[in-house]
Amino acid sequence: MAANPNIYLIGPMGAGKTTVGRRIAEIKGMQFIDSDQEIEKRTGVDISFIFDMEGEDGFRKRESDMITTLVNETNTVMATGGGVILESANRDLLSARGVVVYLETSLEQQLARTRNNRNRPLLEGSDDVEATLTQLMEERDPLYRSIADLTVKTGDQPARRLAREIVERLESIGTAEI
């Protein structure tokens, strides 16, 4: 029996990529990887520390190196960082190596989901988090859409239900063995 194609979840911070990704992996019997968590595990420091020491450019280089490594995994659901799509090489790799699912979320949901999370370097020190999130979405939404095989609006439904919806929609569009 052929392995499932990899599933890559993209979208802004607070979209639920990690939570939904874990549920999809459970449903499909696949391994789950969070690219940001892998960077933290392999460097021994959190993302905020990398941003502080190396800036966003240094982090993006590490992120690209990690994506290059992780796309070689098989039978995997991967949650990516919100800015992974900024590098064209990352977009090309994700598109070529699996099925890309864009978790689209509202500004209100992002604000609620990121409000108490201090490990969001692009929001740290922001005088206007709403304006920052709006600007990031304006820049990134076209890039998310450009590589998405499937776009799913997240809402208030439980992660498990959203994961089932994604699996069903992928099956209905006939993505290989999915």
Are 178 and 24 spatial neighbours (Cβ–Cβ below 8 Å)?
no
**82 in a known ligand binding site:** yes
- What values do phi and psi take at 3, rounded to 5? -70, 155
**157 in a known ligand binding site:** yes
Residue (of 8, 165, 166, 146) closest to 77 by Cα position: 8
**164 in a known ligand binding site:** no
- Report the C-alpha gap between 107 and 71 in whole angstroms: 29
**36 in a known ligand binding site:** yes
C-alpha 146 chain-centroid distance: 15
**25 in a known ligand binding site:** no
- Report the C-alpha gap between 100 and 77 in whole angstroms: 10
**17 in a known ligand binding site:** yes
**22 in a known ligand binding site:** no
**60 in a known ligand binding site:** yes
Are 103 and 152 spatial neighbours (Cβ–Cβ below 8 Å)?
yes
**15 in a known ligand binding site:** yes
DSSP character for 29?
A: T
Buried-exposed string 13-26: b where 16+ CB fall within 10 A, e elsewhere: bbbbbbbbbbbbbe
- Cite the annotated binding site for substrate by residue number: 36, 60, 82, 140
- Cite the annotated binding site by residue number: 14-19, 36, 60, 82, 120, 140, 157
- Cite the annotated binding site for ATP by residue number: 14-19, 120, 157
- Cite the annotated binding site for Mg(2+) by residue number: 18
